[in-house]
Copies of this chain bind each other. A is one copy, B any other.
Amino acid sequence: MAAMDIVLTTIPLPGEAIKYLENHGFQARMVSDMEEETMARAVALLCWCMGDLDLLSMIGKLRGLRAIQTFSAGVDHLPFNAIPPHVAVLSNAGAYSRPVAEFAWSLVLALAKGLNGTTPNRSAYISSPYSKPYLIHGKTLMVFGTRGIGGEAARIGKEGFKMRVIGINRSGAPAPGIDEVHPSTDAPRLAGRADVVIVSLPLTKETRGIIGRDFLSNMKDESILVNVGRGEVIVEEDLYEELKRRPGIRFGTDVWWNYGSGESVMKTKTGLHSLPNVLGTPHIAGGATYSDEVSREVIMSAVTNVVKFLEGRDARNLVNRSEYV
């Protein structure tokens, strides 16, 4: 029997994934078990490509590599310049839609009801700009990003809370279940219509700093902004100033500007993380590293997608490198 092509992985795959690969003629092997022969036969690499792997030091040895498929939704952390042009990069966008959209909604509702600033003093609770409850039902939701996480966040707003949904994407192309979609250039003009804004954009050259003073200054005095995409999509200094100036604007975020790592990920140079109208969490929305059910979905999504690519079928999330470098 001829040796099967190898798909490398940085994390142990569940039996279901190994079986799927075998059924399609591929053998799963851990990067940590790599020998010269393994490397030569590796056609694809599955990785977080963050702490789990030093891609720079090994990429040269993977001479047969055709694709890198990340477990993560974002790929902005990849060393694109070191990856040969003939190696395709595939992200795992979409695999996190449910947990992350659900997490975004937990931030929206917690901020809407002032749960980050609870006090037993009822009159203080309902009169403080930081905790006065906002009603969401029937209001207007704006989503930055209309597929994957953004699409699912829009669906929850529409079906769960009967909101009108404005979608923002690059081209303004319509998206299923979203009432109206506009190109990102129009977002600042439309900001004043939104009661809730959910940002789920990946970080690319184009999205970096896409939400700045022009958008923020047009937001309603009592509105909610939640970011579950990437921190740098919002200009930190502009947001800090707006949150200081208008305490009725509440900001929730699971993603940061990366001035530190580990425990210090939530530190910010402006001190934004300490404002009373900010509710932050340390990049936990995805959940693949602590939830078995999310983990399974994330891994199977990555595995089935890379197999599609290797077989020349319609793979999702083929990354256009020019958006990143």
Whether the Cβ atoms of A115 and B113 lie closer than 8 Å is no
Choose from B109, B135, B266, B282 the contact partner of A109 (Cβ within 8 Å).
B109
Known: A133-B103, A135-B291. A126 touches B161 (CB 8 A): no
Of the candidates B118, B135, B159, B290, which one forms a contact with A160 in the assembled complex, judged by CB atoms under 8 Å apart?
B159
Q: Which residue of B lies closest to A118 (CB)?
A: B281
A106 touches B112 (CB 8 A): yes
| Per-residue B-contact encoding for A94-118, CB less than 8 Å = 1, 0 else | 0000110011011101101101101
Copies of the polypeptide in the assembly: 2
Q: Which of B105, B122, B160, B262 has a CB less than 8 Å from the CB of A265?
A: B122
The residues of B that contact A159 with a CB separation of less than 8 Å are: 159-160
CB atoms of A102 and B136 under 8 A apart: yes
Please give, as numbers and ranges, the residues of chain B lying within 8 Å of A312 by CB-CB distance.
none
Q: Say whether A263 contacts B122, CB under 8 Å.
A: yes
Assembly CA distance A135 to B264 (angstroms): 26
Task: Compute how far the CA of A110 lies from the CA of B281 in the bound complex, rounded to whole angstroms.
Answer: 12
A133-B290 contact, Cβ under 8 Å, with A109-B109, A118-B280: yes
Q: Does A279 contact B (CB under 8 A)?
A: yes
Residue of B nearest to A120 (CB): B266
Tell whether, in the assembled complex, residue B281 and residue A115 are in contact, meaning their CB atoms are under 8 Å apart. Answer: yes
Contact B103 A282 (CB under 8 A): no
**Which chain B residues lie closer than 8 Å to A136 at the CB level?**
102
CB distance from A40 to the nearest CB of B (A): 37
A243 within 8 Å of B by Cβ? no
Q: Is A121 at the interface (CB under 8 A from chain B)?
A: yes
Measured between beta carbons, the chain B residues less than 8 angstroms from A113 are 102-103, 106-107, 281
A272-292 at interface with B (beta carbon < 8 Å): 279-285, 287, 289-291
> How many A residues, CB 8 Å from partner?
49
A20 proximal to B (CB < 8 A): no
A262 / chain B contacts, CB cutoff of 8 Å: 122
**Is B160 a contact of A122 with CB atoms below 8 Å?**
no
Which of B106, B122, B135, B289 touches A115 (beta carbons < 8 Å)?
B106
Verify if A304 is at the interface (C-beta below 8 Å from B). Answer: no
**Bound: A98/B285 CA distance, A:** 27
Name A139's closest neighbour in chain B (CB-CB).
Answer: B293
Q: Is A127 an interface residue (CB 8 A)?
A: yes
- Asked whether any CB of chain B lies closer than 8 Å to the CB of A125, the reply is yes
Q: Shortest distance in angstroms between A272's beta carbon and chain B's nearest beta carbon?
A: 13
Contact of A284 among B133, B137, B284, B287 (CB under 8 A): B133
**Alpha-carbon distance between A106 and B134 when the two chains are bound, in angstroms:** 11
Shortest 7 CB-CB contacts between residues of A and residues of B: A160-B160, A106-B109, A120-B266, A159-B159, A106-B113, A126-B290, A122-B282
23 A–B pairs (Cβ distance < 8 Å), ordered by A:
A99-B133, A102-B113, A102-B135, A106-B110, A106-B115, A107-B115, A109-B110, A113-B281, A115-B279, A118-B279, A118-B281, A120-B265, A120-B267, A120-B280, A120-B282, A121-B282, A122-B282, A122-B283, A125-B282, A125-B284, A127-B290, A133-B290, A156-B160
